[in-house]
Amino acid sequence: MEDNKFKEIPKEKFEFANVGDKISDAKFDTKPIGYFKDALLRFSKNKASVAAFIIIILIVLFALIVPIFTNNAKKGLLDPYYAKKGPRIASVAEGTNRRLANGGTERTLRETSYIYELAIGAGASYVTGSNKNTVTLSQGSESKYSPINYLKSSYKQGKTNYYKGNVDTYLEVGFVFLSLTKDELEAIEKWQAENNLQVLYPLIDTGTAASPNKYYYGFTDFSNAANYWYKVVTKSFDTDIVRQYGVLTPVSTKDGSDKYLSYSDNLVLEDNFLRDDNGNVLYSRPTGGGAEGMHQYEVRVLYYNYYIFKNGFQPNYLLGTDSQGYDLAYRMSKGIQLSLILSVIVSVINFIIGAIYGAIEGYYGGAIDLILERVSDILGGVPFMVVATLFQMHFAGKVGALPSLIFAFVLTGWLGTAYRVRAQFYRFKNQEYVMAARTLGARDRRIIWKHIFPNTLGTIITSSVLVIPGVIFSESMLSFLGIINLGGSKTTSLGTLLADASSIWTKYPHLMLAPAVVISLLMICFNLFGNGLRDAFNPTLRGSDE
């Protein structure tokens, strides 16, 4: 009777009855697909959500990596001389013939302005000990310190020559006057000798208060006077040159008169250096009274090299600098960290409070639900903007701006989660498996957290993720409006960066562009990611391809 025995049918004989793409491979799998595995499979087929998730990961990595690998970030640099500058990476700029990442901006320069830019490179090429500048403007343009990255074209309009080119705004800072102690001065002298990199340059002859040097620009405007190391005519003296060519015109006095100097490649500007009685140029001079060792010393430094001396590296800024002179990439990373940490903390707290509150409402119902719902209605009618403002006015000074903001978000932020949990509990609490657990003597706490709550987890997770973009937007808006102030030397917010750039973004668009793009990406990507999770955790779609 061997033929009458049950024979096992090989699994290769089975195939899926549903038509279309399968959630498994070609082989028949007898193992059931779990809830989370099924959700992951459906989520992976949502290309928009996957792309959004990848972008979020990249933004998070940016926020974590930049503070580690950015030299400027490690030192927490604030450099007002390099404020509001564009992106610059010295190695990339040099490798692309100063075409990319060069900290440049497009300029149309008059002849005197073009000479001024080239004079920075010529002045930086001054040979120590020569007592005379012999560098031509052409040689100045070839100097690595020349602010002119490249010249596009030149033209003449009327009697004026114009030059179009790209100017490195970092090198354009050029020379600056500093006041140093004796120890600081000696440290610079020692460093430049060891590194063969010149920091100190000849001082400019300013004259005296009783007899000022009429070729010194500093009496008119001290802001960039250190770059006018050559003789110029200023508006203080009414000469034929001023009337004909305008102020800040380079002049030569070799023939005994003020002679206008026009641009040419082989032009050597006549220097206006401070010299001693023997005709030697001076690199420093003591200022103030008191004992000799207590003097301050006035010096003129090439700021690019002084920056290297002070920090140990060249000025490299991946995204440029902000309005104060901080590394914008570093500030962006800190702003992203703050936004994400704040939003995750608020989301977790809202998750906990909302889950407990909604579970109690939905499970017990009746009078308890009625009372708790009225409390929710009252809290739901409180405007968030008013709450945030009042908390900042009365609590920020005691607990800090960030904890105060978290309290404002949490006061009413959990209401949405509570509403969703309550609805899910009403949906599942009368299911057969719940009734069976209750019949077997399970306590309410066990039924709530072991039987009903897991079925609401997908909805709660989705709602919690969708809270994140709302928190990021609200925090950025409050910072932008100045209701809260999360800016400081060590951290800032994306909204604060936008607020700082709001009045100057037309001239410095990178200050507005970078934080605006990041905020937009975070908002869009978290919404797409949340929508993908919502569809993936939807029990009605289990086993489907939609």
Domain boundary pick from 286, 311, 336: 311
For position 384, which CATH number holds? Answer: 1.10.3720.10
How confident is the model over 28-35, as a mean pLDDT?
A: 60
C-alpha atoms less than 13 angstroms from C-alpha of 386 in its C-beta half-sphere:
6
Which pLDDT tens digit goes with each residue over 401-438?
Answer: 888 888 888 888 888 888 888 888 888 887 888 888 87
Same domain, 306 and 426: no
316 vs 292, higher pLDDT: 316
Q: What is the mean pLDDT of the chain?
A: 84
Lowest mean pLDDT segment, chosen from 68-82, 177-191, 192-206, 306-320 = 68-82
CA dihedral in degrees (386, 387, 392, 396; nearest 10)? Answer: 170
Residue 252 resides in a domain: yes
454 vs 475, higher pLDDT: 475
Task: Print the domain residue range for 479.
Answer: 50-65+327-541
Give the pLDDT confidence score for residue 238 in this predicted structure: 61
Which pLDDT tens digit goes with each residue over 356-365?
Answer: 898 888 888 8
CA angle 111, 113, 118 (to 5 degrees): 95
How confident is the model over 184-213, as a mean pLDDT?
A: 90
19 vs 158, higher pLDDT: 158
CA angle 164, 168, 169 (to 5 degrees): 110
Give the pLDDT confidence score for residue 3 in this predicted structure: 56
Same domain, 343 and 457: yes
Length of the chain in residues, anyone? 546
Same domain, 307 and 339: no
Give the pLDDT confidence score for residue 72 in this predicted structure: 61
Phi/psi at 207 (5° precision):
80, -160
The C-alpha atoms of residue 546 and residue 543 are separated, in whole angstroms, by 9
Lowest mean pLDDT segment, chosen from 105-114, 220-229, 496-505 = 220-229
Share of the chain above pLDDT 90, in %: 29
How confident is the model over 21-45, as a mean pLDDT?
A: 65
Q: Is the pLDDT of residue 76 over 70?
A: no
478 vs 131, higher pLDDT: 478
The C-alpha atoms of residue 65 and residue 442 are separated, in whole angstroms, by 50
Q: Is the pLDDT of residue 75 over 70?
A: no
Give the pLDDT confidence score for residue 50 in this predicted structure: 92
- Written as six digits, the tokens of 377 are 């209605």
Give the pLDDT confidence score for residue 241 in this predicted structure: 67
- pTM: predicted TM-score of the whole model, two decimal places: 0.80
Q: In which band, very low, low, confident or very high, does the pLDDT at 236 lie, cut at 50, 70 and 90?
A: low
Q: Is the pLDDT of residue 18 over 60?
A: no
Alpha helix ranges (H) inside 23-98: 35-44, 47-69, 71-75, 90-95
The C-alpha atoms of residue 439 and residue 441 are separated, in whole angstroms, by 5
Domain boundary pick from 311, 338, 355: 311
Residue 74 resides in a domain: no
Give the pLDDT confidence score for residue 14 in this predicted structure: 65
Residue 370 resides in a domain: yes
- Written as six digits, the tokens of 291 are 């004992």
Which pLDDT tens digit goes with each residue over 392-401?
Answer: 888 877 888 8
Same domain, 299 and 405: no
Residue 34 resides in a domain: no
Give the pLDDT confidence score for residue 54 in this predicted structure: 95
Q: Is the pLDDT of residue 467 over 90?
A: no
Q: Is the pLDDT of residue 272 over 60?
A: yes
Same domain, 405 and 257: no
Residue 274 resides in a domain: yes
Give the pLDDT confidence score for residue 16 in this predicted structure: 58
7 vs 389, higher pLDDT: 389
Give the pLDDT confidence score for residue 34 in this predicted structure: 67
How confident is the model over 288-315, as a mean pLDDT?
A: 84
Same domain, 386 and 530: yes
Residue 348 resides in a domain: yes
Q: Is the pLDDT of residue 183 over 60?
A: yes
The C-alpha atoms of residue 329 and residue 319 are separated, in whole angstroms, by 5
Categorise residue 196: left if φ over 0, alpha if ψ from -120 to 50, beta otherwise: left
Give the pLDDT confidence score for residue 492 in this predicted structure: 84
Residue 88 resides in a domain: yes
Share of the chain above pLDDT 70, in %: 86
Q: Is the pLDDT of residue 27 over 70?
A: no
Give the pLDDT confidence score for residue 538 in this predicted structure: 67
Same domain, 392 and 243: no
Q: Is the pLDDT of residue 463 over 70?
A: yes
Same domain, 339 and 300: no
Residue 263 resides in a domain: yes
Q: In which band, very low, low, confident or very high, does the pLDDT at 478 lie, cut at 50, 70 and 90?
A: confident
Same domain, 130 and 195: yes
Same domain, 96 and 57: no
Q: In which band, very low, low, confident or very high, does the pLDDT at 452 lie, cut at 50, 70 and 90?
A: confident
Q: Taking Cα atoms as reference points, which of 330, 372, 352 lies closest to residue 68?
A: 330
The C-alpha atoms of residue 481 and residue 115 are separated, in whole angstroms, by 43
Q: Is the pLDDT of residue 347 over 80?
A: yes
Q: In which band, very low, low, confident or very high, does the pLDDT at 244 lie, cut at 50, 70 and 90?
A: low
Same domain, 355 and 218: no
How many structural domains is the chain composed of?
2
Give the pLDDT confidence score for residue 20 in this predicted structure: 54
Same domain, 56 and 104: no
Domain boundary pick from 253, 278, 311: 311
- Written as six digits, the tokens of 218 are 């500093």
Give the pLDDT confidence score for residue 290 in this predicted structure: 56
